[in-house]
Structure 1
C-alpha cells in the first residue's frame, strides 16, 4: 500500500469535469468528447493501487460505472452538457440507491432489504450525468466524528498509515483524497463532512440545512442533518450545489445580498470578491484553545496569508459559546437516540453497537423532554444573537478541527484516547450545525506538511452561494501556502 501523501498535489490540482464539448467544422456540427471512460479509468486505477482507497468503499461499483461511462461516451451531445456529465462520484452508505442495501455503517442481525428507489440527491446527480463508483465507509449510524468503525476494514487519513480519517463520512473523504472519486456525497450533522475533509486534506462543504432534500437518507438528528459534498476545490462543491439545490440559481438566491455581493447573470453565480473587499472575523477563545502545535501553526499561517492578501481579519469571541455547545449536545443526543429508538429498545442489537455510539444512544435516551424543548428555544435565541454579532462581517473563520488526526491503534487500545478524539474532532464543527449556517472546510496546511489542517469558513443562513464565492477568494490565498 502506498504511504505517500497524495493530497500535496491534489491541493494544487484543478478538477477537469469531463463535460462534452461541441466542435463546429465546415458548416456542420461534429460532437467530440473528453473521454469519460478515461476519466473513470484513472479513478479505477487509484482504487486498485491503494489499499486505503479500497477500504474507503463498502461496495465498489467500478464495473457498473464503466458500463455507464461507455453509454455516456456513445450518447449524442447536447448543449449545454449536463453539469456532472461523466463525473465519477462516490456515495456514502447512508443514502438509498436503487437495488442496494443501505447499512448506515452497521452490521445488523436484522434483514436489510435493497432500496426500491434512489435518495432524492442520488437521483439528482444521476440526472446530471454522474457516474457512481461506489458506496463508502462511514462511522456506525453516522453518530461519531472520528471515522472509526470496528465492523468494517478501517480506512485512514492519506497523511499517514494508521491515522484516523475523521467521520462520519470517512470513506467519501478518503475516496476523493486518494483519487478514487472526483467528488463524493456525504452528510453532516455535527461535522461529519468537515472533520474528515480537514483530516484527509480535501474540501468539504456543509450547506444550510433544508436546502437539499433528505428524502431517502437515513436520519440521525433531523433538525441538524444536511447533505453535502467532498471535492478538491470549492468550484466543484458549487457545481454539486447547483445540481442538488437548483433553486439557488437566481439573482436573489435565498439570502439578502450585501452591497459587496455581485451577481454574475451570465454564469448565474455570485462573483468572486476581491480580497481587499472581504471583512473576516476569526473566532478566538474556546474554539482556538487546546490546539496542537501543527494545527495552530497552519491556522495562524493561513490568517497571516489572508491579511497579506488584503483581507480585513479581526478576532471575535463568542460570549455564548458554552450555551451553544450545551444546546447542541442535547439536541444531537436526543434526536440521535430517537432516530435509533428500535436499536435502543433491543438489547441484542444495542450490544453490537460500537461503544462510543452506544453510549450516545443511551445518554440521549435519558435526557428529559423538557430539557430538549429548552435546548430548541436556546438554539433559536442564539441563532438571532449570532446573526446580530456578525452583521458587519462577510465570513467567519476558525480551525475546522483543533488537533491533527490521532492514531487508530492508540484509540482502539486506550478508551481515554478514543473519548478525547471523539470530543475534540467535532468541538468546532458543531457550531455551524446548531446555528444552521453553511460552512466549508478548506485545506490550510503547507505543501509538505506532516499533518493536515483545515480552515472552516462560515456564512449566513441560506447564503450558501455567496459563501462559496467568498471561500473561493480565500482558497486562492491558501493555495499559495
Structure 2
C-alpha cells in the first residue's frame, strides 16, 4: 500500500496503470473515468499544498457501484436492457457530496443485475472473482465494489445494501462494510431495488474510512472517529437459527472473537429473536419484501417473456408481480409492528454480535450451473445479513482474525444508533487486529 502522504495523482496513476494492463479482461469495473479522476486528484493535491484540504476524503480514490447516476450517461444497474435508457441529467446526491468533499471518483463497479442477487454472478458480464482468490465468488450485489476495495483499485468503494449487499462482499473479502440506518443517506439518483429496504454504504479496509465516507454521504461534518471503550458494553448473542450451520472455522473464529470481547470487559448475554424472525418469515410467505417492491419497480418490462434479464431475477419478479398491492400494504404494516417489537427487544443491549455469514466464499464453479447449490449458498449468505434490513437496524461487518478464507464479525444496533455502532466497531476492530 502507498504511504499516506503519497500525492493523490501518484496513487491514482499507479491504479490506472494496473487497470490498463487488464483492460481487455476487466471484471471489477464497468466504466472508468480516468480524465475526470486525474483532474480531481490534481485539485486535491493542490489544496493539500496550499493547506486548504477538505477533510478526510479529500484526494481519496473512490469507486461507485453501477447503481448511481453520473450526469450524461445512462445508469445501467448491471442490466443490458438499460443501455438505451435516457442519460442521467445530474449526478446522484451521494456522488455530488463525495465530489464536494474532494473524493476522486475513479469509476463505476460491476454489480448483480438490478442489485437483486447476493452471490455475485451476472450473466451479462464475466464474474468479478474474489480479490483473495479469483476462483471464488465475490458476494453481491456490490460485487465489483468489494473487489475494487479488496484489491486496492479503490481506497473506498460505495455500494448499496438492501439485504446485505455491502456487507456480504465485505465479509467474503476481508473488508469492513457498513450499512447505515436506512434513509440517513439520500437515495436520490440511486436506481431502486426496494424503497423500504435500500440503504447506501461504504466498503473499505478500516472502520475510520467507512465512517468518513458515511458522514460525507449523509451530509454530516466528518469528525475523527472516537472509539468507544468496550468495558461495560452489553452485547447480545442471538442464540438460535442465526448461529446454526456455521462452518467449523467460522464457528471457531466467532468464539475467539467473543472471548476477546469478554476479556476486554464487555458483558455478553443471550437474546432470543427467533420468534420475531419466524413472524417476519410468516408475513413474507407471499414473497420477500425486496422481491415484491422490485416487481413494481420493473413492471414495465416484466411482461416481456424475452427480456434479456438474468433468469434468477426475471422469474422471481414475475411471480411477485401477481401479488396484490393490498397484500404488500398489509406486509408493510406488519413490518412496522415487528420493527417496534425488535427495538424493544434490543433496548437493554448496546449491540448484537453474529457471524456475518455462516460460510466463507465458495467456488464460482460450484454454483454456476447448479441451481440448487446456488440457492443454498445464496440463502446462507443472506440469512444473518438481511435481519438488519428487515427490522430497520444499522450494521457493520469486520474481518475476523486467523481464518483461512475471510470471514466477518457482524455488529448490529438499533435504528439510528449509527454513531455509537461505528465508535464501538473501531474498538472491536483494534481488538481483533491485536489478536
**The TM-score by the shorter chain falls in which range?**
over 0.9
* Aligned equivalent of 1:384, options 340, 347, 372: 340
1:460 maps to 2:414: yes
2:350 corresponds in structure 1 to 394
TM-score norm. by structure 1 comes to 0.84
Stretch of structure 1 that moved more, 424-433 or 360-369: 360-369
Displacement of 1:45 after TM fit?
4.6
Measure, in 2, the Cα distance between the counterparts of 1:233 and 1:50.
27
Displacement of 1:49 after TM fit?
6.4
Secondary structure at 1:479's aligned position in 2? helix
CA distance change for structure 1 residues 93 and 223 in 2, over 3 Å: closer, same or farther? same
Deviations 1:263-282 (A, max 9, x none): xxxx8567422121211112
Measure, in 2, the Cα distance between the counterparts of 1:46 and 1:432.
36
1:35 maps to 2:10: no
1:239 corresponds in structure 2 to 212
1:331 maps to 2:294: no
Displacement of 1:109 after TM fit?
7.3
CA contact (8 A) 2:202 2:213 kept: yes
* Aligned equivalent of 1:322, options 273, 278, 285: 278
RMSD: 2.3
1:361 corresponds in structure 2 to 317
CA contact (8 A) 2:212 2:223 kept: no
* Aligned equivalent of 1:288, options 231, 243, 252: 243
CA contact (8 A) 1:279 1:312 kept: yes
1:92 maps to 2:65: yes
Stretch of structure 1 that moved more, 105-114 or 131-140: 105-114
Measure, in 1, the Cα distance between the counterparts of 2:370 and 2:165.
23
Measure, in 2, the Cα distance between the counterparts of 1:52 and 1:303.
45
CA contact (8 A) 1:147 1:165 kept: yes
CA contact (8 A) 2:29 2:144 kept: yes
2:252 corresponds in structure 1 to 297
TM-score norm. by structure 2 comes to 0.93
2:389 corresponds in structure 1 to 433
Structure 2 residue runs without a partner (length 5+):
none
CA distance change for structure 1 residues 356 and 134 in 2, over 3 Å: closer, same or farther? same
Displacement of 1:454 after TM fit?
0.7
CA contact (8 A) 2:75 2:82 kept: no
CA distance change for structure 1 residues 186 and 327 in 2, over 3 Å: closer, same or farther? farther
CA distance change for structure 1 residues 210 and 186 in 2, over 3 Å: closer, same or farther? same
Displacement of 1:362 after TM fit?
1.9
Secondary structure at 1:284's aligned position in 2? coil
* Aligned equivalent of 1:74, options 46, 65, 82: 46
1:137 corresponds in structure 2 to 110
Displacement of 1:474 after TM fit?
1.1
Displacement of 1:46 after TM fit?
4.9
1:275 corresponds in structure 2 to 230
CA distance change for structure 1 residues 314 and 336 in 2, over 3 Å: closer, same or farther? same
Measure, in 2, the Cα distance between the counterparts of 1:302 and 1:225.
29
Measure, in 1, the Cα distance between the counterparts of 2:237 and 2:50.
46
CA contact (8 A) 1:168 1:193 kept: yes
1:58 corresponds in structure 2 to 30
Secondary structure at 1:55's aligned position in 2? coil
CA distance change for structure 1 residues 187 and 109 in 2, over 3 Å: closer, same or farther? closer
Measure, in 2, the Cα distance between the counterparts of 1:51 and 1:455.
35
CA contact (8 A) 1:91 1:172 kept: yes
Measure, in 1, the Cα distance between the counterparts of 2:360 and 2:235.
24
CA contact (8 A) 2:74 2:84 kept: no
Displacement of 1:377 after TM fit?
1.9
Deviations 1:384-416 (A, max 9, x none): 111111111111111111111122112112111
Structure 1 residue runs without a partner (length 5+):
1-12, 19-33, 250-266
Deviations 1:315-365 (A, max 9, x none): 22212212234446532221011111112122221xx22122122212321
CA distance change for structure 1 residues 73 and 162 in 2, over 3 Å: closer, same or farther? same
Secondary structure at 1:314's aligned position in 2? strand
Measure, in 2, the Cα distance between the counterparts of 1:191 and 1:71.
35
CA distance change for structure 1 residues 480 and 49 in 2, over 3 Å: closer, same or farther? farther
1:343 corresponds in structure 2 to 301
The number of equivalent residue pairs is 431
Secondary structure at 2:122's aligned position in 1? coil
1:215 corresponds in structure 2 to 188
2:168 corresponds in structure 1 to 195
Secondary structure at 1:275's aligned position in 2? coil
1:161 maps to 2:134: yes
CA distance change for structure 1 residues 347 and 380 in 2, over 3 Å: closer, same or farther? same
